[in-house]
Structure 1
Amino acid sequence: MTSELEQPVADQAPLIERFTDYDRAHLVTYLRLLDAARDGADWREAARQVLARDPDHPASRACWESHMRRAEWMTHTGYKHLASLREL
């Protein structure tokens, strides 16, 4: 069994306006990204430590941006979908 901290990260987070299995698997990832942003971490550091991405790779910035957008979506919309689920 793979832990939440070991879930592979897609190149792009979901774009749909509903909570997905990907979101469920990456709740910890989203929280870690939000914590890093709150702490003022550079996107490169968060990409490396949270997303396991090489910040020098051209696609890493887009990956980080999409996951940050999704993490922020979770804080104002996605949590409502999550709260409606009976179990995680």
Structure 2
Amino acid sequence: MRIKAELEPDIQDEAPTVSALTDYDRLHVVTYMRLLDSLEDPTATWEEACQLVLRIDPAREPARARRAYDTHLTRARWMTESGYADLLREARLH
């Protein structure tokens, strides 16, 4: 079964930390790209990105929001450094 990225998949409180591409990563490629894109806007705050991209309200759930934002951003960066290679490999096989 092939997992496809979604525009607004459900968000876990923490992104994966394993050193291999996961089904969660495949599903959240767009989420990761949106988080990275938010860093390019000098006026955007992590709270806005969390609210818009992860759909977690930092005012109501500050600890959960910060943990989700930090771990998903870390995973997004990992995808640009390592995880993308697995995605490319999979694309060649299909």
**4+ aligned runs moved over 4 Å, structure 1:** none
Matches of 1:25 and 1:18, distance apart in 2: 14
Matches of 2:40 and 2:77, distance apart in 1: 12
Structure showing greater radius of gyration is 2
Q: Which runs of 5+ in 2 are unaligned?
A: none
1:64 maps to a residue whose letter is Y
1:77-88 matched pairs, under 5 angstroms? 77-85=82-90, 86-87=93-94
Query: Scaled by the length of structure 1, what TM-score is found?
Result: 0.90
Matches of 1:30 and 1:6, distance apart in 2: 11
Query: Which residue of 2 is the match for residue 63 of structure 1?
Result: 68
3-state SS of paired residue (2:54): coil
Identity over aligned pairs, percent:
45
Query: Which residue of 1 is the match for residue 20 of structure 2?
Result: 18
Query: Which residue of 1 is the match for residue 54 of structure 2?
Result: 51
1:42 maps to a residue whose letter is T
- Over aligned residue pairs, what C-alpha RMSD do you find? 1.2
2:17 maps to a residue whose letter is L
Matches of 1:74 and 1:24, distance apart in 2: 10
Query: Which residue of 2 is the match for residue 7 of structure 1?
Result: 9
2:65 maps to a residue whose letter is S
2:30 maps to a residue whose letter is V
